[in-house]
Structure 1
Protein backbone atom coordinates (compact mmCIF):
# COMPACT_ATOMS: atom_id res chain seq x y z
CA UNK A 1 0.00 0.00 0.00
CA UNK A 2 1.21 3.50 -0.81
CA UNK A 3 1.94 5.79 2.10
CA UNK A 4 2.62 8.90 0.00
CA UNK A 5 0.51 11.41 -1.90
CA UNK A 6 2.86 13.21 -4.25
CA UNK A 7 0.12 13.34 -6.88
CA UNK A 8 -1.80 15.96 -4.90
CA UNK A 9 1.38 17.97 -4.32
CA UNK A 10 2.17 17.82 -8.02
CA UNK A 11 -1.21 19.28 -8.94
CA UNK A 12 -0.93 21.98 -6.32
CA UNK A 13 2.57 23.05 -7.32
CA UNK A 14 2.34 22.56 -11.12
CA UNK A 15 6.12 21.99 -11.58
CA UNK A 16 7.81 23.02 -14.81
CA UNK A 17 9.47 19.99 -16.41
CA UNK A 18 12.18 20.47 -19.05
CA UNK A 19 12.17 17.69 -21.62
CA UNK A 20 14.94 17.02 -24.11
CA UNK A 21 13.07 14.28 -25.86
CA UNK A 22 12.58 12.63 -29.21
CA UNK A 23 10.57 14.00 -32.12
CA UNK A 24 8.29 10.96 -32.24
CA UNK A 25 6.76 11.53 -28.80
CA UNK A 26 7.26 15.20 -27.91
CA UNK A 27 3.62 16.18 -28.39
CA UNK A 28 2.27 13.18 -26.47
CA UNK A 29 4.68 13.67 -23.59
CA UNK A 30 3.78 17.35 -23.34
CA UNK A 31 0.07 16.59 -23.31
CA UNK A 32 0.58 13.79 -20.77
CA UNK A 33 2.37 16.13 -18.37
CA UNK A 34 -0.35 18.75 -18.79
CA UNK A 35 -3.02 16.14 -18.10
CA UNK A 36 -1.24 15.02 -14.95
CA UNK A 37 -0.95 18.57 -13.63
CA UNK A 38 2.62 19.52 -14.51
CA UNK A 39 3.85 22.06 -17.05
CA UNK A 40 6.10 20.91 -19.90
CA UNK A 41 8.77 22.78 -21.77
CA UNK A 42 10.19 20.95 -24.77
CA UNK A 43 13.53 22.35 -25.85
CA UNK A 44 16.90 21.11 -27.06
CA UNK A 45 18.32 24.42 -28.27
CA UNK A 46 21.93 24.55 -27.10
CA UNK A 47 21.65 28.31 -26.70
CA UNK A 48 19.21 28.06 -23.77
CA UNK A 49 20.31 24.85 -22.05
CA UNK A 50 22.33 26.66 -19.41
CA UNK A 51 19.38 28.89 -18.45
CA UNK A 52 16.38 26.57 -18.37
CA UNK A 53 17.37 24.55 -15.28
CA UNK A 54 17.24 27.76 -13.24
CA UNK A 55 13.49 28.07 -13.86
CA UNK A 56 12.51 24.38 -14.07
CA UNK A 57 11.90 21.86 -11.31
CA UNK A 58 13.15 18.75 -13.17
CA UNK A 59 14.95 17.71 -16.36
CA UNK A 60 14.14 14.61 -18.42
CA UNK A 61 16.69 13.44 -21.00
CA UNK A 62 15.42 11.02 -23.65
CA UNK A 63 17.77 9.72 -26.39
CA UNK A 64 15.08 8.37 -28.72
CA UNK A 65 15.97 10.36 -31.85
CA UNK A 66 19.51 11.33 -31.02
CA UNK A 67 21.61 13.89 -32.90
CA UNK A 68 25.09 15.23 -32.23
CA UNK A 69 23.68 18.69 -31.53
CA UNK A 70 21.19 17.22 -29.09
CA UNK A 71 23.98 15.45 -27.21
CA UNK A 72 25.65 18.83 -26.65
CA UNK A 73 22.36 20.19 -25.33
CA UNK A 74 21.88 17.24 -23.00
CA UNK A 75 25.32 17.63 -21.47
CA UNK A 76 24.95 21.37 -20.90
CA UNK A 77 21.44 21.06 -19.48
CA UNK A 78 22.32 18.07 -17.29
CA UNK A 79 25.32 19.79 -15.73
CA UNK A 80 23.30 22.97 -15.16
CA UNK A 81 20.52 20.94 -13.55
CA UNK A 82 23.08 19.36 -11.21
CA UNK A 83 24.36 22.81 -10.26
CA UNK A 84 20.84 24.02 -9.51
CA UNK A 85 20.00 20.88 -7.56
CA UNK A 86 17.00 19.78 -9.60
CA UNK A 87 16.37 16.09 -10.35
CA UNK A 88 17.44 14.64 -13.70
CA UNK A 89 15.88 11.56 -15.31
CA UNK A 90 17.53 9.52 -18.07
CA UNK A 91 15.52 7.49 -20.58
CA UNK A 92 18.15 5.47 -22.52
CA UNK A 93 15.89 4.59 -25.47
CA UNK A 94 17.36 1.77 -27.54
CA UNK A 95 20.76 2.22 -25.89
CA UNK A 96 22.06 -1.14 -27.09
CA UNK A 97 21.05 -0.60 -30.73
CA UNK A 98 23.99 1.47 -32.02
CA UNK A 99 27.47 2.60 -31.03
CA UNK A 100 26.30 6.23 -31.10
CA UNK A 101 23.65 5.57 -28.49
CA UNK A 102 26.01 3.49 -26.38
CA UNK A 103 28.74 6.13 -26.44
CA UNK A 104 26.27 8.93 -25.72
CA UNK A 105 24.73 7.22 -22.70
CA UNK A 106 28.18 6.35 -21.36
CA UNK A 107 29.17 10.02 -21.60
CA UNK A 108 25.92 11.23 -20.03
CA UNK A 109 26.30 8.84 -17.12
CA UNK A 110 29.89 9.88 -16.60
CA UNK A 111 29.28 13.65 -16.66
CA UNK A 112 25.77 14.02 -15.17
CA UNK A 113 24.40 12.80 -11.85
CA UNK A 114 20.96 11.31 -12.52
CA UNK A 115 18.27 10.96 -9.90
CA UNK A 116 16.57 8.21 -11.87
CA UNK A 117 17.11 6.00 -14.90
CA UNK A 118 13.91 4.64 -16.45
CA UNK A 119 13.94 2.08 -19.24
CA UNK A 120 12.54 -1.21 -20.43
CA UNK A 121 14.15 -4.52 -19.53
CA UNK A 122 16.35 -4.64 -22.61
CA UNK A 123 17.69 -1.13 -22.14
CA UNK A 124 18.33 -1.59 -18.44
CA UNK A 125 19.94 -5.00 -18.94
CA UNK A 126 22.38 -3.35 -21.33
CA UNK A 127 23.29 -0.72 -18.74
CA UNK A 128 23.81 -3.45 -16.16
CA UNK A 129 25.97 -5.43 -18.62
CA UNK A 130 23.57 -8.37 -18.46
CA UNK A 131 22.88 -10.56 -21.47
CA UNK A 132 19.63 -9.70 -23.24
CA UNK A 133 18.48 -9.93 -26.88
CA UNK A 134 17.02 -6.65 -28.12
CA UNK A 135 15.63 -5.37 -31.43
CA UNK A 136 16.02 -1.63 -31.93
CA UNK A 137 14.08 0.16 -29.21
CA UNK A 138 11.88 -2.86 -28.42
CA UNK A 139 12.21 -4.67 -25.10
CA UNK A 140 13.49 -7.90 -26.70
CA UNK A 141 13.89 -11.15 -24.83
CA UNK A 142 15.95 -12.42 -21.93
CA UNK A 143 15.81 -14.27 -18.66
CA UNK A 144 17.94 -12.01 -16.48
CA UNK A 145 16.97 -11.33 -12.88
CA UNK A 146 15.47 -7.85 -13.17
CA UNK A 147 15.71 -7.31 -9.42
CA UNK A 148 19.46 -7.75 -9.77
CA UNK A 149 19.53 -5.46 -12.81
CA UNK A 150 17.66 -2.69 -11.01
CA UNK A 151 19.80 -2.91 -7.88
CA UNK A 152 23.03 -3.00 -9.88
CA UNK A 153 22.13 0.11 -11.89
CA UNK A 154 20.99 1.97 -8.78
CA UNK A 155 24.20 1.17 -6.92
CA UNK A 156 26.53 1.81 -9.87
CA UNK A 157 25.04 5.16 -10.83
CA UNK A 158 23.84 6.29 -7.38
CA UNK A 159 20.26 6.73 -8.52
CA UNK A 160 16.88 5.01 -8.46
CA UNK A 161 16.33 2.52 -11.28
CA UNK A 162 12.88 2.05 -12.78
CA UNK A 163 12.39 -0.94 -15.09
CA UNK A 164 9.01 -0.80 -16.77
CA UNK A 165 7.23 -3.86 -18.10
CA UNK A 166 4.40 -6.24 -17.29
CA UNK A 167 5.62 -5.84 -13.71
CA UNK A 168 7.58 -2.68 -12.98
CA UNK A 169 10.71 -3.11 -10.87
CA UNK A 170 12.08 -0.17 -8.88
CA UNK A 171 15.19 -0.06 -6.71
CA UNK A 172 17.41 2.52 -5.07
CA UNK A 173 20.09 -0.10 -4.51
CA UNK A 174 18.69 -1.15 -1.14
CA UNK A 175 14.91 -1.03 -1.33
CA UNK A 176 12.96 -2.89 -3.99
CA UNK A 177 9.38 -2.60 -5.19
CA UNK A 178 7.34 -4.54 -7.76
CA UNK A 179 4.30 -2.84 -9.27
CA UNK A 180 1.74 -5.27 -10.61
CA UNK A 181 -0.63 -2.70 -12.10
CA UNK A 182 -0.71 -2.01 -15.82
CA UNK A 183 -2.15 -3.16 -19.14
CA UNK A 184 -0.85 -5.08 -22.18
CA UNK A 185 -1.88 -2.11 -24.32
CA UNK A 186 1.06 0.02 -23.12
CA UNK A 187 3.62 -1.46 -25.58
CA UNK A 188 1.20 -0.99 -28.48
CA UNK A 189 1.30 2.81 -28.47
CA UNK A 190 4.31 4.96 -29.28
CA UNK A 191 5.59 6.97 -26.35
CA UNK A 192 4.11 5.13 -23.38
CA UNK A 193 7.55 4.56 -21.85
CA UNK A 194 8.76 8.03 -22.76
CA UNK A 195 5.74 9.56 -21.07
CA UNK A 196 6.40 7.46 -17.96
CA UNK A 197 9.92 8.90 -17.78
CA UNK A 198 8.46 12.40 -17.90
CA UNK A 199 5.92 11.47 -15.22
CA UNK A 200 8.82 10.26 -13.08
CA UNK A 201 10.44 13.66 -13.52
CA UNK A 202 7.24 15.42 -12.47
CA UNK A 203 6.93 13.36 -9.27
CA UNK A 204 10.60 13.86 -8.43
CA UNK A 205 10.08 17.61 -8.84
CA UNK A 206 7.86 17.67 -5.75
CA UNK A 207 9.48 14.86 -3.75
CA UNK A 208 12.15 16.88 -1.93
CA UNK A 209 14.76 14.18 -2.61
CA UNK A 210 12.59 11.31 -1.36
CA UNK A 211 13.22 9.71 -4.72
CA UNK A 212 12.34 6.06 -4.11
CA UNK A 213 8.81 6.53 -2.71
CA UNK A 214 8.11 9.24 -5.29
CA UNK A 215 9.08 6.97 -8.16
CA UNK A 216 7.09 4.06 -6.75
CA UNK A 217 4.04 6.33 -6.64
CA UNK A 218 4.77 7.74 -10.10
CA UNK A 219 4.99 4.33 -11.73
CA UNK A 220 1.96 3.05 -9.82
CA UNK A 221 -0.22 6.03 -10.68
CA UNK A 222 0.77 5.80 -14.33
CA UNK A 223 0.10 2.05 -14.47
CA UNK A 224 -3.29 2.52 -12.83
CA UNK A 225 -4.18 5.26 -15.32
CA UNK A 226 -3.34 2.74 -18.04
CA UNK A 227 -5.50 0.08 -16.42
CA UNK A 228 -8.46 2.43 -16.21
CA UNK A 229 -7.93 3.65 -19.78
CA UNK A 230 -7.89 0.07 -21.10
CA UNK A 231 -11.04 -0.95 -19.27
CA UNK A 232 -13.68 -2.21 -21.71
CA UNK A 233 -11.34 -1.76 -24.69
CA UNK A 234 -10.48 -4.54 -27.12
CA UNK A 235 -6.78 -5.37 -27.67
CA UNK A 236 -6.97 -3.77 -31.14
CA UNK A 237 -8.35 -0.45 -29.92
CA UNK A 238 -4.94 1.12 -29.53
CA UNK A 239 -6.04 4.51 -30.86
CA UNK A 240 -8.74 4.82 -28.24
CA UNK A 241 -6.28 3.75 -25.56
CA UNK A 242 -3.81 6.41 -26.75
CA UNK A 243 -6.36 9.14 -26.07
CA UNK A 244 -7.97 7.51 -23.04
CA UNK A 245 -4.62 7.39 -21.22
CA UNK A 246 -4.40 11.18 -21.32
CA UNK A 247 -7.96 11.45 -20.03
CA UNK A 248 -7.27 9.08 -17.14
CA UNK A 249 -4.07 10.89 -16.18
CA UNK A 250 -6.17 14.06 -15.95
CA UNK A 251 -8.92 12.53 -13.81
CA UNK A 252 -6.88 10.15 -11.66
CA UNK A 253 -7.01 10.98 -7.97
CA UNK A 254 -5.06 9.90 -4.92
CA UNK A 255 -7.93 7.78 -3.56
CA UNK A 256 -7.97 5.69 -6.74
CA UNK A 257 -4.21 5.24 -6.58
CA UNK A 258 -4.37 4.14 -2.94
CA UNK A 259 -7.25 1.73 -3.51
CA UNK A 260 -6.03 0.15 -6.75
CA UNK A 261 -2.28 -0.02 -6.10
CA UNK A 262 -0.82 -3.53 -6.22
CA UNK A 263 2.73 -3.20 -4.90
CA UNK A 264 5.07 -5.80 -3.48
CA UNK A 265 7.82 -4.32 -1.31
CA UNK A 266 11.09 -6.04 -0.35
Structure 2
Protein backbone atom coordinates (compact mmCIF):
# COMPACT_ATOMS: atom_id res chain seq x y z
CA UNK A 1 0.00 0.00 0.00
CA UNK A 2 1.21 3.49 -0.81
CA UNK A 3 1.74 6.11 1.89
CA UNK A 4 1.85 9.87 1.56
CA UNK A 5 5.49 9.72 2.70
CA UNK A 6 6.30 7.39 -0.20
CA UNK A 7 4.60 9.78 -2.61
CA UNK A 8 6.73 12.63 -1.32
CA UNK A 9 9.91 10.54 -1.33
CA UNK A 10 9.37 9.22 -4.87
CA UNK A 11 7.66 12.30 -6.35
CA UNK A 12 6.02 10.36 -9.20
CA UNK A 13 5.29 12.26 -12.40
CA UNK A 14 1.56 12.29 -13.16
CA UNK A 15 0.62 13.05 -16.76
CA UNK A 16 -2.81 14.64 -17.13
CA UNK A 17 -5.25 15.04 -19.96
CA UNK A 18 -7.43 17.55 -18.15
CA UNK A 19 -10.67 19.30 -19.00
CA UNK A 20 -10.94 23.03 -19.68
CA UNK A 21 -12.28 23.92 -16.22
CA UNK A 22 -9.95 22.48 -13.59
CA UNK A 23 -6.34 21.98 -14.75
CA UNK A 24 -4.91 24.35 -12.13
CA UNK A 25 -6.78 22.68 -9.26
CA UNK A 26 -5.66 19.24 -10.44
CA UNK A 27 -2.02 20.29 -10.82
CA UNK A 28 -2.08 21.91 -7.37
CA UNK A 29 -3.58 18.83 -5.69
CA UNK A 30 -0.95 16.57 -7.23
CA UNK A 31 1.85 18.98 -6.37
CA UNK A 32 0.78 19.65 -2.78
CA UNK A 33 0.83 15.95 -1.86
CA UNK A 34 4.38 15.70 -3.18
CA UNK A 35 3.93 14.28 -6.68
CA UNK A 36 4.79 16.11 -9.90
CA UNK A 37 2.09 17.09 -12.44
CA UNK A 38 2.43 17.50 -16.19
CA UNK A 39 -0.53 18.81 -18.20
CA UNK A 40 -0.63 17.28 -21.68
CA UNK A 41 -2.08 19.10 -24.70
CA UNK A 42 -0.46 18.03 -27.99
CA UNK A 43 -0.68 14.46 -29.27
CA UNK A 44 2.74 14.81 -30.93
CA UNK A 45 4.44 14.64 -27.53
CA UNK A 46 2.38 11.71 -26.19
CA UNK A 47 5.17 9.13 -26.41
CA UNK A 48 7.81 11.44 -24.92
CA UNK A 49 5.65 12.50 -21.98
CA UNK A 50 4.39 9.00 -21.17
CA UNK A 51 7.98 7.80 -21.27
CA UNK A 52 8.95 10.06 -18.35
CA UNK A 53 5.71 9.62 -16.39
CA UNK A 54 4.64 7.22 -13.65
CA UNK A 55 0.88 7.41 -14.19
CA UNK A 56 -1.60 8.81 -16.71
CA UNK A 57 -4.87 10.50 -15.71
CA UNK A 58 -7.54 10.99 -18.38
CA UNK A 59 -10.38 13.41 -17.63
CA UNK A 60 -13.16 13.21 -20.22
CA UNK A 61 -14.87 16.46 -19.27
CA UNK A 62 -13.91 18.09 -22.57
CA UNK A 63 -15.47 15.87 -25.21
CA UNK A 64 -13.86 16.53 -28.57
CA UNK A 65 -12.03 14.50 -31.19
CA UNK A 66 -8.63 15.92 -30.28
CA UNK A 67 -8.88 14.90 -26.62
CA UNK A 68 -10.13 11.44 -27.57
CA UNK A 69 -7.19 10.95 -29.93
CA UNK A 70 -4.77 12.16 -27.24
CA UNK A 71 -6.34 9.86 -24.66
CA UNK A 72 -6.08 6.80 -26.89
CA UNK A 73 -2.51 7.54 -27.97
CA UNK A 74 -1.24 8.28 -24.47
CA UNK A 75 -3.27 5.42 -22.99
CA UNK A 76 -1.76 2.90 -25.38
CA UNK A 77 1.75 4.11 -24.63
CA UNK A 78 1.00 3.93 -20.89
CA UNK A 79 -0.28 0.36 -21.23
CA UNK A 80 2.86 -0.59 -23.14
CA UNK A 81 5.07 0.99 -20.50
CA UNK A 82 3.07 -0.64 -17.70
CA UNK A 83 2.16 2.52 -15.78
CA UNK A 84 -1.31 3.01 -14.23
CA UNK A 85 -4.06 4.70 -16.22
CA UNK A 86 -6.90 6.50 -14.39
CA UNK A 87 -10.01 7.67 -16.23
CA UNK A 88 -12.84 9.97 -15.16
CA UNK A 89 -16.03 9.56 -17.29
CA UNK A 90 -17.29 13.07 -16.57
CA UNK A 91 -21.09 13.43 -16.97
CA UNK A 92 -21.11 10.38 -19.24
CA UNK A 93 -24.88 10.07 -19.05
CA UNK A 94 -25.45 13.62 -20.23
CA UNK A 95 -24.87 13.16 -23.97
CA UNK A 96 -24.41 10.52 -26.64
CA UNK A 97 -21.15 12.20 -27.63
CA UNK A 98 -19.64 11.63 -24.18
CA UNK A 99 -20.77 8.01 -24.26
CA UNK A 100 -19.32 7.43 -27.71
CA UNK A 101 -16.03 9.08 -26.80
CA UNK A 102 -15.65 7.05 -23.63
CA UNK A 103 -16.41 3.86 -25.55
CA UNK A 104 -13.69 4.70 -28.08
CA UNK A 105 -11.11 5.14 -25.36
CA UNK A 106 -12.25 2.08 -23.39
CA UNK A 107 -11.96 -0.07 -26.51
CA UNK A 108 -8.29 0.82 -26.96
CA UNK A 109 -6.97 1.47 -23.44
CA UNK A 110 -6.74 -0.74 -20.33
CA UNK A 111 -7.69 1.19 -17.18
CA UNK A 112 -6.22 0.67 -13.72
CA UNK A 113 -8.62 3.07 -12.00
CA UNK A 114 -12.04 4.52 -12.80
CA UNK A 115 -13.11 7.47 -10.65
CA UNK A 116 -16.53 9.07 -10.80
CA UNK A 117 -19.60 10.01 -8.81
CA UNK A 118 -22.57 7.72 -8.28
CA UNK A 119 -24.39 8.86 -11.41
CA UNK A 120 -21.37 8.40 -13.65
CA UNK A 121 -20.42 4.97 -12.32
CA UNK A 122 -24.05 3.81 -12.28
CA UNK A 123 -24.19 4.58 -16.00
CA UNK A 124 -21.09 2.47 -16.61
CA UNK A 125 -22.59 -0.31 -14.51
CA UNK A 126 -25.91 -0.18 -16.45
CA UNK A 127 -27.78 0.61 -13.25
CA UNK A 128 -30.62 3.12 -13.43
CA UNK A 129 -29.75 6.47 -11.83
CA UNK A 130 -31.04 10.02 -12.22
CA UNK A 131 -27.77 11.87 -12.75
CA UNK A 132 -27.78 15.67 -13.03
CA UNK A 133 -25.00 16.71 -15.41
CA UNK A 134 -21.73 16.67 -13.50
CA UNK A 135 -23.64 16.14 -10.22
CA UNK A 136 -24.35 12.65 -8.92
CA UNK A 137 -28.14 13.07 -8.80
CA UNK A 138 -30.26 10.45 -7.06
CA UNK A 139 -31.01 6.79 -7.43
CA UNK A 140 -31.97 3.62 -5.62
CA UNK A 141 -28.99 1.54 -6.72
CA UNK A 142 -26.66 0.02 -4.13
CA UNK A 143 -23.40 1.98 -4.16
CA UNK A 144 -21.38 -1.11 -3.26
CA UNK A 145 -22.83 -3.02 -6.20
CA UNK A 146 -22.20 -0.09 -8.54
CA UNK A 147 -18.55 0.19 -7.50
CA UNK A 148 -18.05 -3.58 -7.73
CA UNK A 149 -19.71 -3.78 -11.14
CA UNK A 150 -17.49 -1.06 -12.63
CA UNK A 151 -14.36 -2.65 -11.19
CA UNK A 152 -15.36 -6.02 -12.64
CA UNK A 153 -16.33 -4.55 -16.01
CA UNK A 154 -12.95 -2.89 -16.54
CA UNK A 155 -10.84 -5.25 -14.40
CA UNK A 156 -9.52 -2.38 -12.31
CA UNK A 157 -10.18 -0.50 -9.09
CA UNK A 158 -13.15 1.84 -9.00
CA UNK A 159 -13.52 4.87 -6.77
CA UNK A 160 -17.07 6.14 -6.39
CA UNK A 161 -16.75 9.50 -4.69
CA UNK A 162 -19.47 11.26 -2.74
CA UNK A 163 -20.61 11.92 0.80
CA UNK A 164 -19.17 8.46 1.44
CA UNK A 165 -16.44 7.26 -0.92
CA UNK A 166 -16.86 3.64 -2.04
CA UNK A 167 -13.82 1.85 -3.43
CA UNK A 168 -13.75 -1.65 -4.93
CA UNK A 169 -11.54 -4.06 -6.84
CA UNK A 170 -14.57 -6.07 -7.95
CA UNK A 171 -14.54 -8.32 -4.89
CA UNK A 172 -13.74 -6.28 -1.81
CA UNK A 173 -15.50 -2.99 -1.03
CA UNK A 174 -14.19 -0.28 1.31
CA UNK A 175 -16.01 2.84 2.48
CA UNK A 176 -14.23 6.07 3.44
CA UNK A 177 -16.59 8.15 5.56
CA UNK A 178 -14.49 11.27 6.02
CA UNK A 179 -15.14 14.43 4.04
CA UNK A 180 -16.98 17.74 4.07
CA UNK A 181 -20.08 19.10 2.34
CA UNK A 182 -18.15 22.05 0.84
CA UNK A 183 -16.56 19.65 -1.64
CA UNK A 184 -19.94 19.62 -3.36
CA UNK A 185 -19.98 23.39 -3.97
CA UNK A 186 -16.42 23.67 -5.27
CA UNK A 187 -16.30 22.52 -8.89
CA UNK A 188 -13.36 20.27 -9.66
CA UNK A 189 -12.79 18.45 -6.38
CA UNK A 190 -13.50 15.15 -8.11
CA UNK A 191 -10.91 16.05 -10.73
CA UNK A 192 -8.44 16.74 -7.94
CA UNK A 193 -9.16 13.27 -6.60
CA UNK A 194 -8.38 11.83 -10.05
CA UNK A 195 -4.88 13.28 -9.83
CA UNK A 196 -4.37 12.11 -6.26
CA UNK A 197 -5.54 8.63 -7.28
CA UNK A 198 -3.00 8.64 -10.10
CA UNK A 199 -0.22 9.54 -7.66
CA UNK A 200 -1.20 6.80 -5.22
CA UNK A 201 -1.42 4.12 -7.90
CA UNK A 202 1.91 5.27 -9.33
CA UNK A 203 3.55 4.32 -6.03
CA UNK A 204 1.59 1.07 -5.56
CA UNK A 205 -1.08 -0.13 -7.98
CA UNK A 206 -3.58 -1.68 -5.55
CA UNK A 207 -6.99 -1.35 -3.92
CA UNK A 208 -5.37 -0.12 -0.69
CA UNK A 209 -3.68 2.70 -2.59
CA UNK A 210 -7.01 3.73 -4.13
CA UNK A 211 -8.43 3.81 -0.61
CA UNK A 212 -5.51 6.00 0.42
CA UNK A 213 -6.38 8.48 -2.33
CA UNK A 214 -9.92 8.81 -0.97
CA UNK A 215 -8.59 9.13 2.57
CA UNK A 216 -6.12 11.87 1.63
CA UNK A 217 -8.64 14.23 0.05
CA UNK A 218 -11.53 13.44 2.39
CA UNK A 219 -9.47 13.93 5.53
CA UNK A 220 -7.95 17.14 4.16
CA UNK A 221 -11.50 18.39 3.60
CA UNK A 222 -12.58 17.38 7.08
CA UNK A 223 -9.66 19.25 8.63
CA UNK A 224 -10.16 22.31 6.41
CA UNK A 225 -13.86 22.45 7.21
CA UNK A 226 -13.14 22.96 10.91
CA UNK A 227 -11.94 26.53 10.29
CA UNK A 228 -13.93 27.64 7.22
CA UNK A 229 -17.60 27.67 8.20
CA UNK A 230 -19.67 29.71 5.69
CA UNK A 231 -16.61 30.52 3.55
CA UNK A 232 -16.60 27.66 1.00
CA UNK A 233 -14.01 29.13 -1.35
CA UNK A 234 -11.61 29.68 1.53
CA UNK A 235 -12.35 26.05 2.36
CA UNK A 236 -10.85 24.98 -0.97
CA UNK A 237 -7.69 27.04 -0.40
CA UNK A 238 -7.42 25.53 3.07
CA UNK A 239 -7.75 22.04 1.56
CA UNK A 240 -4.63 22.73 -0.52
CA UNK A 241 -2.76 23.99 2.55
CA UNK A 242 -3.84 20.87 4.43
CA UNK A 243 -2.76 18.53 1.62
CA UNK A 244 0.70 20.09 1.81
CA UNK A 245 0.93 19.46 5.55
CA UNK A 246 -0.95 16.15 5.82
CA UNK A 247 0.93 13.23 7.38
CA UNK A 248 0.39 9.48 7.43
CA UNK A 249 -0.07 9.70 11.20
CA UNK A 250 -2.96 12.15 10.74
CA UNK A 251 -4.50 9.96 8.06
CA UNK A 252 -4.34 6.88 10.27
CA UNK A 253 -5.67 8.74 13.31
CA UNK A 254 -8.59 10.43 11.54
CA UNK A 255 -9.68 7.83 8.98
CA UNK A 256 -13.22 6.50 9.13
CA UNK A 257 -13.13 3.21 7.23
CA UNK A 258 -15.68 0.47 6.87
Report the TM-score, using the length of structure 1 for normalisation.
0.95
Asked if 1:230 is matched to 2:221, the reply is no
Q: Name the residue aligned to 1:34.
A: 31
State the distance in 2 between where 1:130 and 1:14 align: 38
1:24 Cα deviation after fit: 0.6
SS of match in other structure, 1:70: helix
Q: Is the 8 A contact 1:5 1:254 kept in 2?
A: no
Q: Name the residue aligned to 1:117.
A: 114
1:5 Cα deviation after fit: 5.0
Alignment deviations for residues 30-73 of structure 1 (CA, whole Å, 9 cap, x no partner): 11111110110001211111221110000000011222111100
Aligned-residue Cα RMSD (Å) equals 0.9
Alignment deviations for residues 144-176 of structure 1 (CA, whole Å, 9 cap, x no partner): 101111111111110001000111100001111
Tell me which protein shows more helix as a share of its residues: 2
1:143 Cα deviation after fit: 1.3
Find 1:243's aligned residue among 219, 227, 237.
Answer: 237
Find 1:50's aligned residue among 28, 47, 51.
Answer: 47
State the distance in 2 between where 1:109 and 1:203 align: 22
Where does structure 1 lack aligned partners over 5 or more consecutive residues? none
Q: Name the residue aligned to 2:80.
A: 83
Q: Is the 8 A contact 1:44 1:74 kept in 2?
A: no
State the distance in 2 between where 1:101 and 1:5 align: 32
Q: Name the residue aligned to 2:170.
A: 173
Find 1:14's aligned residue among 11, 14, 21.
Answer: 11
Moved over 2 A (4+): none
Find 1:192's aligned residue among 189, 203, 211.
Answer: 189
Asked if 1:216 is matched to 2:211, the reply is yes
Q: How many residues align?
A: 258
